[in-house]
A = this chain, B = another copy of it.
Amino acid sequence: MTSKTATLQDVARVASVSTATVSRTLSHPDVVSESTRIRVAEAVRATGYRINRAARNLRTKRAHSVLVLLPDLANPFFSTILEGISRNLSQRGYSMLIASTKQVHDSGERLIDYLDDVRADGMIILDGGLDADVLKSLEDASQADRVLFACEWVDGTSFPSVRCENRKGTQAAVTYLHDLGHRKIAHVTGPEGNVLMHSRKDAFIAEMTRLELALKPEWIIAGDFSLAAGCLAAQTWIAMEDRPTAVFCASDQLAMGFIAELSRHGFSVPDDVSVMGFDDIDLAAQFIPALTSIRQDRLMIGETAAEMLMARIMTPDGDHLESAAVLPVSLVIRESTSSPS
């Protein structure tokens, strides 16, 4: 039975010092004397003291928490990123709040409302699809320097961001398929307007050009990142007269949908066509056939994002801080790709 929670007062009484000294000892141990430090530590233990966060937050005007904004809580792509963010934050005694952009929108709250002194000290946005208006108002606010994008970003805004090497990953994919002997390579894209879609599509076209490979317009198949779009893309591929021998999909989900639909129509991967994805989500290795993909280290993306945001929160004038981190990707070769037959 936890009776009454001990307060600073209780600790001060037990340690025979003032509350000011207890507070100092706890937050700036180096400014008090050794003996005080010991006495206070002892009193904290004896009383079972735990800080009252509301009181501290009210006094310091800090929330000691960070808000993570997702497009969709139910998308498994984000869970590992959250794990990374959460690890980093909890280490610092910060909490992670989570909201989905849809939900924020529905509730009629504005994003800026979340950057209240006492709701969240900062914000990590994993959704590049936010309204330009919303972002503009955020950019103009005084709290703009405590907003950071991860994975996705929005061109034309000044927020710092953490992302993976989308270009290099795409180059690696195309080069790998080329090395296997493929000359007719198609690309299934992400959703129109998405920055990742453009980044990967542009890199795809550039790399095809560099390798002097022919690229028919119909070989760029419009999709989004979903399984369903992958299925549709497969139907498109099936209907083609001159079928590409390899397909590079902008996400693993697309690749899985693509392969699934193909298989329903009697085609086999990689015998009839090589297929690869992007992301290397957990399931990629277990898929049949196991998916060749471009791996993003999502744990590191999360940890890096938290790290960068916290640096900004801690530094009042952080203009000199790095405003972008681009994390490495790697090619993971599995069973869904082979030399053309």
Contact = CB atoms under 8 A, between A and B. Distances in A.
A202 interface: no
B117 A103 contact: no
B113 A50 contact: yes
Given A5-B117, A52-B118, A117-B52, A100 B86 contact: yes
Chain copies in complex: 2
B118 A53 contact: yes
A87 B105 CA distance: 12
Contacts of A91: 107
Interface stretch (A76-84, A184-192, A308-316): A76-84
A143 B283 CA distance: 39
A327 B334 CA distance: 40
A83 B264 CA distance: 32
Contact of A58 (B58, B100, B227): B58
A134 interface: no
A74 B140 CA distance: 35
Range of interface residues on A (Cβ < 8 Å): 35 or more
Contacts of A73: 79-80, 82-83, 86
Nearest to A143: B2
Contacts of A107: 90-91
The secondary structure that dominates the A interface is helix
A256 to B, nearest CB: 7
List the 9 closest pairs (A to B, CB-CB), nearest first: A76-B76, A54-B57, A54-B58, A73-B83, A54-B118, A227-B286, A74-B80, A53-B118, A74-B79
Interface of A: 1-2, 5, 50, 52-55, 57-58, 63, 72-76, 78-80, 82-83, 86-87, 90-91, 95-100, 103, 107, 112-113, 116-119, 140-143, 227, 231, 256-257, 259-260, 263-264, 282-283, 286-288
23 contacts: A5-B117, A52-B58, A52-B117, A52-B118, A53-B119, A55-B58, A58-B58, A73-B83, A73-B86, A74-B80, A75-B79, A76-B76, A79-B79, A82-B98, A83-B100, A87-B103, A90-B107, A97-B97, A98-B98, A227-B286, A256-B286, A263-B288, A264-B288
